Amino acid sequence: MLRRALPVGALVLTLAVAACSGGGHSSGHPGGGSTASGHADAGSTASGHADAGSTASGHAGGGSTASPSPGAVFNDADAAFAEHMSVHHQQAVVMSALATERASDPRVKKLAAEIEAAQAPEIATMAAWLSDWGREPAATGDGHGNVTGHESMPGMMSAADMAKLVESTGEAFDNRFLTMMIAHHEGAVTMARDQIANGANPEAKALAAKIVTDQQAEIATMKAML
């Protein structure tokens, strides 16, 4: 009996050892789980890189949405409009300034002041455009509304016309001023319409549209005063 018991004991010992070995493998699987977790972490890292890429793409996208300044879009018609209308406005401002001392009708004085207040800032705006576009500034003339080389523009008064206006006073000035300014405004409207038709710069086209609206209204007002 004792001889037969020994193999049984050995069998039990073998099974115990096998069980311990199996536990080791079982313990190894959680370790494998850790390895899977490590892969997950790597995946997270990859995701992080993807997110970073998305962020970079977002910044790139942000850059692409920035549109160029409207002033950067222009053509020769825009540049010609800014130059010529600046000169045209200069003469209107000189004519309007004369009304302060020479006009007798308070309505003429008021209208002249409004014309000067509206057109002087527009001259500054157009001068800035020409500078931004790399074009030469508009001519400034002799300070009396006379600009050599621009006499043929629509509505521009000649040096002789301006001299007659300077010599006038009272009611004679009022009538001459209104007659001259109506013709001057009509010329400006013609130039502004050309800009609307041929220009490319949205700001310049918007100013041209404003000139048409404003000066047509002033033409009607001046005609009613005569």
**pLDDT tens figures, 141-177:** 666 667 666 678 999 999 999 999 999 999 999 999 9
How much is the pLDDT for 151? 79
Q: What is the pLDDT at residue 149?
A: 64
CA 168 to the chain's CA centroid: 45
* CB-CB contact of 142 with 123 (8 Å): no
Section 48-75 average pLDDT: 48
The predicted-structure confidence for 82-141, as pLDDT tens digits, reads as follows: 999 999 999 999 999 999 999 999 999 999 999 999 999 999 999 999 999 999 999 886
* Share above pLDDT 70 across residues of the chain, in percent, rounded to a whole number: 65
| Runs of H (alpha helix) within 66-135 | 76-102, 106-132
Q: What is the average per-residue pLDDT within 1-24?
A: 40
User: Could you give the CA distance from residue 18 to residue 12 in angstroms, rounded to a whole number?
Assistant: 10
* pLDDT for residue 202: 97
Residue that wins the pLDDT comparison between 65 and 119: 119
Q: Decide if pLDDT at 203 tops 60.
A: yes
pTM: 0.68
Average the pLDDT over 218-226 and give the result: 98
Angle ∠(103,106,111) on CA atoms, nearest 5 = 85
Top-confidence residue, 100 or 222: 222
Question: How far, CA to CA in Å, does 129 sit from each of 2, 79, 193, 197, 205?
Answer: 116, 8, 19, 19, 12
User: How many CA atoms lie less than 13 Å away from 171 in the CB half-sphere?
Assistant: 1
**120, two tokens:** 């002087």
Confidence check: pLDDT of 11 > 80: no
Question: What rounded mean pLDDT belongs to the chain?
Answer: 77
Find tokens 């080389």 and name the residue: 149
